[in-house]
Amino acid sequence: MTCFSSADESAHFGFSVCMLLQHYRSQLRWEEEGVVELGTGDATAIADVVASLPGLRVRSFDISAPSVETARANIAARGVADRYTVELGDFFDQADSAGGAPVSTVISNPPYIPAPDRNILMPELWGGVHGNDLMLQLLKAGYDNVIAAVASYSDPLETVRTAGDLGYRVANFLAMGLDFGAYSSEPKVRDHIRRMCAEGRGWAGDDEYMVAVALFTRNPDVPGDRADQLLRALQL
């Protein structure tokens, strides 16, 4: 098991999280509550966010021991270990188990590679048959605010529809075009993505796709609903 790293994607995720947290600072109350994170990866993107937002505290969870080891080293190197902690384990089993004040905001760049099964180059990146299994599970976990990456080829229509059914609005988002990397380009994955897009479950060009980092919220203090704009930004 190795640590996934994509410089462009990570930079986009970190920048977007920082912008959304900053813009909705008072409504999300993260200075009082902190936030939790599903999937730490190498932690560089969010460690930089924590360094940029002195009032931010992040409690993160990852199921990969090598990722946790790498993440802790990167966090320490950036001098934010007092405000960014990483635990080895399943987010859904542990994030709410410590007691204390509730946290209303979760951030995540969840695995979103769609494929018929997890027998792919990097199984940790498998997001289920349609690529959005973890995203749907996260929306159903009960947090009022979910800041997460949504890929254009991972059935975003179903993601946005499920979010709406659960009472979420898309308050805002930042979208970016990305080239297929090694894992999206694996023939088994690429063929599956093409089938999904043909079925209307996503969009991808010959070698490109879109990723948006969106704020899904049930918080009445956060205005707006940009779900239609999000889908258009994802070429749907």
Backbone angles phi, psi at 27, to 5 degrees: -70, -40
Listed residue (123, 122, 115) closest to 182, CA to CA: 122
What pLDDT shows up at residue 1?
30
b vs e for 139-168, b when ≥16 Cβ sit within 10 Å of the residue's Cβ? Answer: beeebbbbbbbbbbbbbbebbbebbeeeeb
Per the CB < 8 A criterion, the answer to whether 139 and 115 are in contact is: no
Structure tokens at 85: 């902690």
**Angle ∠(13,191,206) on CA atoms, nearest 5:** 60
Q: How confident is the prediction along the chain (236 residues), in pLDDT tens digits per residue?
A: 333 446 788 899 999 999 999 999 999 999 999 999 999 999 999 999 999 999 999 999 999 999 999 999 999 999 999 999 999 999 998 766 544 458 999 999 999 999 999 999 999 999 999 999 999 999 999 999 999 999 999 999 999 999 999 999 999 999 999 999 999 999 999 999 999 999 999 999 999 999 999 999 999 999 999 999 999 999 99
Q: What is the pLDDT of residue 98?
A: 47
Q: Which H or E element spans position 179?
A: strand 169-179
What SS3 class is residue 124? helix
β-pair partners for 146: 106, 216
Q: By the 8 A CB rule, do 60 and 101 touch?
A: no
pLDDT of residue 8: 81
Q: What is the pLDDT of residue 71?
A: 96
Query: Read out DSSP for 44-83?
Result: HHHHHHHHH-TT--EEEEES-HHHHHHHHHHHHHTT-TTT
